[in-house]
Each structure stands twice: as C-alpha cells, then as structure tokens.
Amino acid sequence: MNAEEMKRRTKQFAIEVGHFILDLPTNDLNRNYSNQLIRCSSSVGANYRAVTRAKSKADFINKLKIVEEELDESIFFLELLFEFNIDKRARIIKITQEGEEFLKIIVASINTSRG
C-alpha cells in the first residue's frame, strides 16, 4: 500500500470512528471514552500525514512511532466501549480490525526502516 492510500484509509478510519460515536447512546461513560477515541483516532491520520513529510530516516521512524501509539490508544478505547455497548459490538469489532491492520502495517514499516 502506498502513502496516498494510507492517507486515505487513515482519514476514513477517523471518519468511521466519528460516525460510530454519533450512534452511541449518550451517557457519561460513552462521552468520556468517546472523547478520547475521537482524539487518538483522528491523530492517526494527522500524524501519518506528518510521516510522509519526514526529513530523515530517524524523523520518519519517530513519526511512525507516534502513529503506532495513537493506533494502540484507539484500539484500547474501542475495547472499553465494546465492554459497555453490547448492541454495538459488531461495529466495534469491524473498526478495531481496521485499526489492528493499520497497526501491523505501521509496526512492519518501523521494523523495516530500522533495518
């Protein structure tokens, strides 16, 4: 997958998370976890764009590590929402799988870049 495709898919990931959150029932727990999820899932795409503008190999790896952290955090908050929103589990699984696929791609890119 090339950089432009990853930019498109990471943006779509944030959009899918946003649509999902709009469908969640309103309560304190969902609101707090959703706020965190919005931040980290949108940060995935924003930081991946920064990866494509890296100035050196070290900068490239560092920016990829940020994307990795934001993906891991996104997956964590999806897991928490999974526990408290039984009727939304199928959709959460789908979004989580996309996040895990990105995470595998990013980790592989980091490992390849490190040589």
Instruction: Render pLDDT for 37-54 as a digit per residue (tens, 0 to 9).
Output: 999 999 999 999 999 999
pLDDT averaged over every residue in the chain: 97
SS3 at position 62: helix
Judged against a pLDDT cut of 90, whether residue 14 lies above it is answered with: yes
Question: How much is the pTM?
Answer: 0.95
Residues composing the chain: 115
pLDDT of residue 103: 96
Judged against a pLDDT cut of 90, whether residue 115 lies above it is answered with: no
pLDDT of residue 101: 96
pLDDT of residue 1: 76
How does residue 81 score in pLDDT terms, banded at 50, 70 and 90? very high
The domains of the chain, with CATH numbers, are: 3-114 (1.20.1440.60)
Measured between alpha carbons, how far is 57 from 41 in angstroms, rounded to an integer?
A: 25
Look up residue 77 and give its two tokens.
């908050």
